[in-house]
Chain A
Amino acid sequence: MNKKMMKQNNSTIFSGRTGLAVEADELSYRYPDGTLALQNIHLRVKTGEKVAVTGPNGSGKSTLITLLNGVRRGNGRLKIFDIPVNKHDLTLVKQKVGLIFQNPDDQLFCPTIFEDVAFGPLNLGLSREKVEQRVKEALHSVGLNGYEQRSSFHLSYGERKLASIATVIAMQPQLIAADEPTSNLDLAHRRKIIQWFKTCRQTVVMTTHDLDMALETCDRVIVLHRGKIVADGATRQILTDQNLLERYQLELPLSLQASRAKS
C-alpha cells in the first residue's frame, strides 16, 4: 500500500502504522426497530484528509458520523487511528475523535460557556491551568473571545454553533466528525465555520448538504444513498459530475451552477 507523506506535524505522532485515520470494512448498522441504516460500508480516510459525506436525508450520513466516535456500535470492522472500536478501547477512541452534533443545544448544557468548553478538558483530568488555557484557545479559534461568562441560551444560533465547536476542539481531538456544521447559519457565521474548517489541522469527516462548503473545505466527497456508498472521489471530480449528482437527488453547488449558466 502506498503510504502518503504526512503534511501536518502533530499527526505523524498519532497516525499509527497505516497512516489511516478511519478504516472501515463491511460496516453496517441496524436501528433497534430493524431499519438498516448502513450497509457494507468500506471506507478509508487518511490522516489529514478532509472528507464531506453527502446524500439525501435518511441515507445514513448522521449514523455514519456517530459510529466514528463509538457512540453507536455497528457490525463489521472499524478502526480509528489503528485502534479498533470495541468496548475495550472505547475511551481511547473517544479521546481521539471529537463529535460535533447538528443541534448545538444538545451539546451546551452547563450554566456558562466557560463550563461547557471546560467540560471536555476536565474529564480528561487536566490541571486547572491547563483547562483554562484550553478554553481560552478553543474560544479564540472559533472567534468567541470574551464569551466565557455568557450563558448559552443568551447566544444566537450561530454563536451557539460556534460554541459547540469550541467545546469539542478544547479536547484537541485528532479526528473531527461533524454533523451538518453549517446548517441554519447566517452567512457571517457560516463563513467563520468554513474558515475554521479550512485552516484546521485535524482530519475531518463531515456530513453536509452545503455542497458549496464541501467544495471550499474538503478534498474528498462521499455520496451515501440508502445506507450504501455510491460515489467516493476527489471533490472536483464528484461535485462537477451533474449526472451523478442528479441521480442521487443532489444538485451542483451553486457556485458551479452560476459559472455554468454563464458559459
Chain B
Amino acid sequence: MKHDFLDHHRSGNSPVHLADPRLKIVVMLLFIFAVVITPYREMSDFLCYAGILFIIALVSRVSLFHYLSKLLKLYPMIFLITFLLPFFPALNGAEYQIGFVKIYQSGLQKFALINIKSVLAILMSIVLTVTTDFSMLLKGVEKLRVPRLPIMVLSFMYRFIFLLIDETERMQMAYQSRYVKLPVLRRLQIFSQQIGVLFIRTYERGERVYQAMDSRGWSGEVRTLNDLHWRRTDTLHFALFALSMMVPVIFI
C-alpha cells in the first residue's frame, strides 16, 4: 500500500497530534459551524477566526507550507464554483465596468465572503486530517455515536483508494511497456477503456480483500490497539478553543 504521501505527518508529538480525535472532530465541526453562520459585519470577525486557526496550525508543528499546499489542491474547486458571482446583475449597489464586462459590488462581496469562509473551513479540516491517523479518526467518529454503516463505508473507501492506486500503477506499467506514439483521440479512447478495466479489476480485488478480512473475523467495528482516552488536557484545550471562539461575538 503505497501511501507515504498521505500519512507523512500523521505521527507527531505536538499537542494537536496527541489530542483525542473526538476533540479534534468536535472542534472542527464547531469552527466550521461558527464560520458559516457568521454574517458579514466586519472583517475582524473573520480575522479572529483566521487567527485561531493560525495558532492551532502553529501548535501542530507541521510546516505551514504543507497546509498551504494541501489547500492549493482544493481551492480551485471553490474558485470554480464562485467565480461567476461577481457577474450576476444586482439592482442595488455599485457597478464597475472593466472593458466590456460589468462587475457588481454585491456579487463581489458574496464572492469574497464565500471564498473566505470556505478557505477557513477547508483549512481547519486539513489540520484535522493531517494530524490524525485515519483509523483513530474513525474510532473517534464511532465513539461519537455515528451509526456503524457509514463508518464501515468510510473504512472500506479508505482501503479501496490504495487498491485503486496499486491497480492504476500496474496498468500504467503495462501501457508504458507497449507504448507507441498515438494521436490524441486514440490515446483518449484507450484511456477511457483503461478506466473501465481499472474499476472492474479494483472491484474484484476489493472483493478478495473483503474475503480475507472476513475470514480473519472482521465484523465492521473499528478496532485499534490504542483505545481512546479523554484526558484533562483535552478538556482544557476545548475550553480554550470555546473561549477564543467567543471573542468575535463579544468584541464585535
Contacts and interface: CB of A to CB of B under 8 A. Distances in A.
Contact of B1 (A111, A119, A128, A132): A111
A168 interface: yes
B209 interface: yes
B187 interface: no
Contacts, number: 67
Contact of B213 (A109, A124, A153): A109
Interface in A86-107: 91, 94-95, 97-99, 101, 103, 105-107
A128 B2 CA distance: 27
Given A106-B208, A109-B159, A123-B223, A152 B1 contact: yes
Contacts of A98: 215
Contacts of B226: 128
A122 interface: yes
A95 B217 contact: yes
Contacts of A171: 216-217
Interface residues of B, number: 24
Contact of A128 (B163, B209, B212, B225): B225
A103 B162 CA distance: 16
Contacts of A99: 212, 215
A114 B211 CA distance: 20
B225 A122 contact: yes
Interface residues of A, number: 34
Given A151-B1, A152-B1, A153-B2, A119 B208 contact: no
A118 interface: yes
Contact of A153 (B1, B214, B217, B224): B1
Interface of B: 1-3, 7, 159, 162-163, 166, 205, 208-209, 211-219, 223-226
11 contacts: A71-B211, A71-B215, A94-B216, A101-B208, A105-B166, A106-B208, A107-B212, A108-B1, A123-B217, A123-B218, A153-B2
Interface of A: 66, 69-71, 91, 94-95, 97-99, 101, 103, 105-111, 118-120, 122-124, 128, 131-132, 151-153, 167-168, 171
